Amino acid sequence: MPTKEETLAALGTLKRIPSTLQELGKISPATPTSHVVKLIESDPSLAAEVLKLVNSSFYGLSHSITNLSQAVVLLGLNNVRNLCLSLSAAKAFASLRKQREFDPQKFWANSLAVGLIAKKIANLLGWEKDESYSAYLIGLMHSMGKAALLGLFPKEYTEMLVRARSARMTQHDLETSFFGMNHGEVNRFICEKWSFPENYRECLANYFEPDRASSYHRMQLNLFIAAFYSNKLGFGGQGSLAEENFHVDYGIFDELGIQQMSIEDLLQASVEKEIKQAKSIVTSLSR
């Protein structure tokens, strides 16, 4: 089994996201549309993929979008930014497709479900648009630490999962015993490598420990609940990168300021439909 130092050294070999994407991660509502368009157009393959997805059934637009300026105006800066970052994250883990244990369709369907649920909860709570979009992207990327560990140490990670069936330990504690760090800590490492904002780093590092103090505690609680409901609604994935069976203290709902039944009614009615509509996004992320 690798030591923590060996795990960190291996993580250091992961690709950096392009500087274009790092710049997109820093945009704000005050950023001129023309600047965002130029950033995306500097990566022709990304620009083509964005236009393809914008015209998919997921966004339900009444007419075809032929240029990025139209896409940004209609969908908004944050939606386009999140789409670009999602595509870039998928490319960074492209080598995982060679792993027998990795099912990209299930992985990204689950990731998308967590992102959509987190965004819906944020909207239900009346969060600002920027926070709501951040909740979506953080949810989308919550399992990238697992994906990284599996890609870098396929034999050891598979062995760990076999051990998990009988061990009286959480999956993230087992990860620590095998790799010297858990997938939340790997999430933080990747966020730092990719220059993601601090709220992403904190939430993705600690989401499965909702009692842990954080400067972004409500975002962290939201992500924990979103991952829980992704499992409960059947989107938790299968095999090596399945969600853990979270043990939920239902006081978390009171702490977040939301009623459990409100979430369940909202999700039951809409998430499955949206995941089906998002098939084109899942397919693109899985390629």
Supply the pLDDT for residue 20: 74
Say whether pLDDT at 237 is over 60.
no
Supply the pLDDT for residue 9: 95
Label residue 235 by pLDDT band (50, 70, 90). Answer: confident
Label residue 13 by pLDDT band (50, 70, 90). Answer: confident
Pair 285, 94: CB distance under 8 Å? no
Q: Select the highest-mean-pLDDT range: 56-65, 98-107, 212-221.
A: 212-221
Burial class (CB in 10 A: 0-12, 13-18, 19+), 110: buried
For the stretch 152-165, pLDDT in tens is 898 898 888 788 77
Number of other residues whose CB lies within 10 A of the CB of residue 212? 13
Distance CA 71, CA 77 (A): 9
Class of the 96-287 domain?
mainly alpha
| Range(s) of the chain covered by CATH 1.10.3210.10 | 96-287
List the single range of 15-24, 166-175, 189-198 with lowest mean pLDDT: 15-24
Q: Select the highest-mean-pLDDT range: 42-46, 188-192, 259-263.
A: 188-192
**CA R_g for the chain:** 18
Q: Who has greater pLDDT, 82 or 178?
A: 178
Distance CA 130, CA 31 (A): 13
Say whether pLDDT at 97 is over 60.
no
* pTM for this model (two decimals): 0.80
Say whether pLDDT at 210 is over 50.
yes
For the stretch 46-80, pLDDT in tens is 888 888 888 876 677 778 888 999 888 888 887 78
Label residue 284 by pLDDT band (50, 70, 90). Answer: low
Say whether pLDDT at 280 is over 90.
no
List the single range of 226-230, 251-255, 260-264 with lowest mean pLDDT: 260-264
Distance CA 78, CA 72 (A): 9
